Structure 1
Amino acid sequence: MNHTTHQPAFGRRLRQLRLQRGMSQAELARDEVSASYISLVECGRRPCNEAMAALFAKRLEVSLEALTAAEGPEQHRSRRLDLTGRLLTARALRRDGDLDTAVERLRLLAHEPVGPAEEDVAWEAAWELSEVQETLGRLAEQHIVLDRLADVPLTQESARLSVRVSTALSRNRRRRGRPGEAVRAGERAVTAAAGLPQAEHERVAAHLELLLGYGESGELDNAERLAASLEKIVEDVPSRQLRGLVQSGLSSTCFLLGRVPDGVRWHERSLTCLRPEADLSAWARVCLASAVRRMDHDPSPAAPDAAAALLARARQALELIGSPRDLRDLAVGEAQLALCRREPDSALGLLEPLVAETAPEPSADEGVCLLLAARAHRMAGDPPRAQERYREAARTLDDMGAYRRSAQAWRELSDMLAADRPDGA
């Protein structure tokens, strides 16, 4: 009799029987196959022929028929109900603030071998896992989850899901200080969203992420064109929260383009639209980003005080719910404020520990810290150290695709060297 192994049901049953007998994957594999092969079979990602199934049945002390029997409709329904119940439990944990436990529950769900009847539940679990990882600042882990989601058939078959995943990947790469990669992911999201209505949530979110990526990578012509199209539809966006985030993105673009009054106007509109109770961490990050924009681009005497007020708001929120990455960004913003107030020692006290940290991965954020440290050393009267930091900053920013900032670092170094050169040299 031919015994067909139906995946993923076969893999689930194999794993269940192995664990019931207290066997490791290596113990089940022995010399015939690898433990990684057992893992792939259990996850439903590799088929298993009848000969190997018979060998596993013998080691697990069950009949081949019991190991390879196909699941019926009742088993499928029971399986789906179990997965749905576990997803609801994980969501309750997230809602109650137990994020670490929620991550573990969601990770188990996202890696469950599932069939067509349960793939939507597994997709939701993986998506929710990526959101919680972003909240916790675990962006490298989130990137892995999103990359896997991008390859799932359900994502590829749905324009909305494809746009959501590509947009999240763009935001992930931007927040990890990789603007060049963020732009590429954002462009994929915008392409996938082309068939959606102009003011649809997924389409607007994709355009917003691409706008922010263009700004951080220095592609200001592209940013200006995209901002003009968003200005036309921003008031039609149904979600108040997303509308406020778009207004904040428009503010950023206006500041980058030197249109300071427009930047201030969009900034004020965004803060009246955004609600801290809807997403406190997003609201705090907008306050922080707005403070940095004011310091970077607003030459008015009122800019430092306005930035200080925004930083104070951001600190109140981030000290309560901010991730380590959020608190690092806050320290950088406060160091920049110290430089605006011509307090280089205070700025260096905030920046040097950040520069000395061993980053888990290179990023443009590291380059920004180095650039601010260079300015602080220059202000403190230490030209050699300032030159060293300027060069490090420019190289780091260039490697990460943050070309506007890189050019800024090289320009400031050149100006410094020219100012220090004796007349006629």
Structure 2
Amino acid sequence: MLVGQRIKMVRRQRGLSQAQLAHPELSDSYVSLIESGKRTPTPAVLELLAEKLDCSLTYLINGVTAEQMQEIELALSYARMAMENGEVAEARTRYIELLADDRLAGLPKFRGDAEYGLALATESCGDLEEAIALLNRLRQDDSANMSPERHVALAVALSRCYREQGDLVRAVQVAEMILGNAVRPAWTNELMALGTQLLAAYIERGDLLRSRYFVAELLAAAELLGTPYALTLAHWGAAIVGVETGHGDEAVKHAERAVAIQSEFGESSRLGRLRGDYAQVLLAVRPMEAAAWRDMLVRVETMLSESSANPMDKMRCAVNLARAELLLAHPQRAGEHLQTVCAMLEGMPQALQGEAKLLSGQTFAELGRQQDASQELLEVAGWLEGAPATRQTAHWWLTAAQVLERIDEPERSVEAYQRALACVGL
């Protein structure tokens, strides 16, 4: 229903004629033109008509009352809160329920927010194909009214989804459509986020030389931009490039810089997550110092437990603690942390669940529980068979192969090694 139709409906409900509604500020012919859709009322006229009709301005504009608007805003905030808390399945359900509400038809901004939120929740639930379809639909349907920030945010999410799906060609294309021109657009926080997704796609496809050049550009851009968000993203990207290219000291330096910036300027929940990721980098490049990184993770665990951190961050911390204990040859303690992980698995993204199962298989192997290890790796293999052929998937297959070799399952081990090689095109 259009604005003019709503004005006409409410006028009739109030028992007013066009002349009575118009007098004395407007002409009855002008009201007639508005009601027939031949004139668009100015904001001042709309306010006047809402007052004369004794109804809310939001109802005349959007077809919803102020109370209904508050209900929709509250429902959106609950859905966002569920996402922030890591309750991705609940968030997806809430967004679907919101989009089934006919009242959103007259609220394009709220509808766009709900559709974008649904796409992110769908991605987090592991349904990448549906998430990609939702994101592409949003880009096509709302291109005329979309803000530049939302346009870039959609590109960020779409590039990430394509990368997680293993379609690295499209992951790069989506980002380079915005960043790949001869002259880069002026860097913003949103474009820095897109740049880090492009960097991740370069790394995933094994283009490490290009990654080193591009991350240098991101670091220079972040210094010019000067925002803590941009600096944290750039230094963390440089840390990952350092890990992947074998420059361990460089990786640690950039990771420390990212954590320092986040410590000074960032939110406590994000700081806990970043410190956990920092410890994971240290475990990868300096495994001989696992005891120190284990102690750091214990502090992170305490920080997360005392904050509003979501279950996903807590689960990642427990997974990294188990890794540290395995490096320290303490499989029993690793198993204790994995018990915490298992209690959190439901509703978590598939990749995180699979990674936890793989680590559980490693732990059972170290404990001499071959049958339990074999069963966990059977579930891991089922998950990996449907995973995209990326460098990360190759790493998981390689780890599975090594564990299968350790528990004396040579045929399955050889098959896992072959799968790992196939993921990197060998």
TM-score, normalised via structure 2 length: 0.63
Matched to 1:270, the amino acid is A
Aligned-partner Cα distance in 2 for 1:248–1:173: 21
Aligned-partner Cα distance in 2 for 1:291–1:108: 39
* Equivalent residue in structure 1 for 2:324, among 332, 337, 350: 337
Q: Does 1:374 align with 2:361?
A: yes
- Asked whether the 8 Å contact 1:290–1:310 carries over to 2, the reply is no
Identity %: 18
Change in CA separation of 1:245 and 1:362 when aligned onto 2, cut-off 3 Å:
closer
- Asked whether the 8 Å contact 2:156–2:197 carries over to 1, the reply is yes
Q: Does 1:180 align with 2:166?
A: yes
Give the C-alpha shift of residue 410 in structure 1. Answer: 4.4
Q: Which moved more, 1:345-354 or 1:144-153?
A: 144-153
Aligned length: 353
Kindly provide the CA deviation profile for residues 313-337 of structure 1, in whole angstroms up to 9, marking residues without a partner as x: 3541354212222222222122212
Report what 2:53 is aligned to: none
- Asked whether the 8 Å contact 2:358–2:376 carries over to 1, the reply is yes
Kindly provide the CA deviation profile for residues 96-119 of structure 1, in whole angstroms up to 9, marking residues without a partner as x: 99946x98799859964456xx64
Matched to 1:154, the amino acid is S
- Asked whether the 8 Å contact 1:351–1:373 carries over to 2, the reply is yes
Aligned-partner Cα distance in 1 for 2:67–2:231: 34
- Counterparts in 2 of 1:143-154, with a 5 A limit? 143=131, 149-154=138-143
Report what 2:195 is aligned to: 207
- Counterparts in 2 of 1:214-363, with a 5 A limit? 215=203, 217=204, 219=206, 221=208, 223-224=211-212, 226-275=214-263, 278-299=266-287, 301-313=288-300, 315-317=302-304, 319-351=306-338, 354=341, 359-360=346-347, 363=350
Report what 2:395 is aligned to: 405
Aligned-partner Cα distance in 1 for 2:98–2:307: 28
Aligned-partner Cα distance in 2 for 1:105–1:411: 40
Report what 2:157 is aligned to: 168
- Asked whether the 8 Å contact 1:172–1:182 carries over to 2, the reply is no
Give the C-alpha shift of residue 350 in structure 1. Answer: 3.0
Give the C-alpha shift of residue 267 in structure 1. Answer: 0.8
Matched to 2:197, the amino acid is E
Q: Which moved more, 1:150-159 or 1:77-86?
A: 77-86
Give the C-alpha shift of residue 271 in structure 1. Answer: 1.3
Aligned-partner Cα distance in 2 for 1:345–1:89: 50
Unaligned runs of 5+ in 2: 11-31, 51-56, 85-90, 412-426
Q: Does 1:192 align with 2:178?
A: yes
Change in CA separation of 1:7 and 1:338 when aligned onto 2, cut-off 3 Å:
farther
Matched to 1:166, the amino acid is A
- Asked whether the 8 Å contact 2:172–2:202 carries over to 1, the reply is no
Aligned-partner Cα distance in 1 for 2:140–2:340: 39
Give the C-alpha shift of residue 254 in structure 1. Answer: 1.1
- The 3-state SS of whatever aligns with 1:322 is coil
Aligned-partner Cα distance in 1 for 2:346–2:197: 25
Matched to 2:398, the amino acid is Q
Report what 2:13 is aligned to: none
Change in CA separation of 1:409 and 1:99 when aligned onto 2, cut-off 3 Å:
closer
- The 3-state SS of whatever aligns with 1:381 is coil
- Asked whether the 8 Å contact 2:364–2:372 carries over to 1, the reply is yes
Give the C-alpha shift of residue 344 in structure 1. Answer: 1.0
Matched to 1:324, the amino acid is P
- Asked whether the 8 Å contact 1:235–1:243 carries over to 2, the reply is yes
- The 3-state SS of whatever aligns with 1:258 is coil
Unaligned runs of 5+ in 1: 1-5, 17-64
Kindly provide the CA deviation profile for residues 256-305 of structure 1, in whole angstroms up to 9, marking residues without a partner as x: 22211001000111112124663333222211111112212323x33441
Give the C-alpha shift of residue 392 in structure 1. Answer: 3.9
- Asked whether the 8 Å contact 1:294–1:304 carries over to 2, the reply is no
- Asked whether the 8 Å contact 1:291–1:311 carries over to 2, the reply is no
Matched to 1:254, the amino acid is G
Change in CA separation of 1:357 and 1:244 when aligned onto 2, cut-off 3 Å:
closer
Change in CA separation of 1:344 and 1:105 when aligned onto 2, cut-off 3 Å:
closer
- Asked whether the 8 Å contact 1:211–1:227 carries over to 2, the reply is yes
Give the C-alpha shift of residue 363 in structure 1. Answer: 2.0
Matched to 2:150, the amino acid is L
- Asked whether the 8 Å contact 1:339–1:376 carries over to 2, the reply is yes
Kindly provide the CA deviation profile for residues 198-255 of structure 1, in whole angstroms up to 9, marking residues without a partner as x: 523222211212333555x563536445434424433223321221122112212211
TM-score, normalised via structure 1 length: 0.63
Change in CA separation of 1:344 and 1:211 when aligned onto 2, cut-off 3 Å:
same
